[in-house]
Structure 1
Amino acid sequence: MYSQSYAETAEEFGANDRQNEAEALNIVISKLEMARASGANSPEAADALFYTRRLWAYFLENLAGEENALPENTRAELISIGIWVLKEAERLRQGEVESFDGIIDINEIIRDSLSGKIA
């Protein structure tokens, strides 16, 4: 009944974390797609960029934490991606770029890797 090992429990919690992160990215991607359809100066764009920045700030904080179990190289690569996402979100907000395609693509790639859709 309670014979689940610590390793199985830890793996299950890790899978739940990945699933929650993938779902959060789904929400952000959906908002970014609405922003793309509505235009860079729309209320939808402001909402999408706010949530994108918030989620990636959380990811960056988690990746920088000592308790993060990912390999250091993977963490560094994800931090670089996160910094790019934040900069691109700011460029969109400032009107320096108008296309949401790149930021949507990156979020989809990360989401798919969390969901196991990318090997």
Structure 2
Amino acid sequence: MPNAAQAYARTSQATAPPREIEAQALLKAARQLQEIQTNWTGPDKSMHKALLFNRRLWSIFMSAAAVDENPHPVEVRQNIANIGLFVMQQTVDMQMSPDPAKLKSLIDINCNIAAGLAGRT
């Protein structure tokens, strides 16, 4: 996991503002999940790969929110952590009892937060 976080940090510093990188990562995860939902053939390797990508992304967000040096207000950081916990619970639920309808909340969360990060609320 540290490698993913380090790669994310390097990429965000080298290419675009962090908010834009975060928005793009959330949209990528949402697209992967949407692809699974749209072309549902049952639980398969691509479903697990998409859920893993989304879970890793949210793990990074949750870890960043927990760091004392995080410049965001505590309330914002708590909201990120709470959303992250919900995402983790939904992911486990999807893995235990696969149903394409369950992906909607994960897709919606990612798209809405990405829109907020990009200033398109």
TM normalised by structure 1 equals 0.81
Of residues 68-77 and 41-50 in structure 1, the stretch that sits farther from structure 2 once superposed is 41-50
Which deviations, in whole Å up to 9, do the C-alpha atoms of 1:45-102 show, x marking residues without a partner? 1111010100000000000001111110111011100110111011111116542111
Tell me if the contact between 1:26 and 1:111 (Cα under 8 Å) persists in the aligned partners.
Answer: yes
Q: Which has the higher contact order (CA 8 A, sep 6+)?
A: 2
**Corresponding residue number in structure 1 for 2:117:** 114
The answer to whether structure 1 residue 88 and structure 2 residue 68 are counterparts is no
**Corresponding residue number in structure 2 for 1:101:** 104
**Corresponding residue number in structure 1 for 2:10:** none
Q: Which has the larger radius of gyration?
A: 1
Q: Give the total of aligned pairs.
A: 105
Structure 1 gap ranges (5+): 1-12
Q: Which amino acid aligns with 1:68?
A: N
**Structure 1 vs Structure 2 CA RMSD:** 1.6
Distance 1:69 1:16, change over 3 A: same
**Corresponding residue number in structure 2 for 1:28:** 29
The answer to whether structure 1 residue 46 and structure 2 residue 57 are counterparts is no
Of residues 80-89 and 98-107 in structure 1, the stretch that sits farther from structure 2 once superposed is 98-107
Deviating beyond 3 angstroms after TM superposition, the runs of 4 or more aligned structure 1 residues are: none
Matches within 5 A, 1:52-91: 52-91=54-93
TM normalised by structure 2 equals 0.80
Q: Which amino acid aligns with 1:42?
A: D
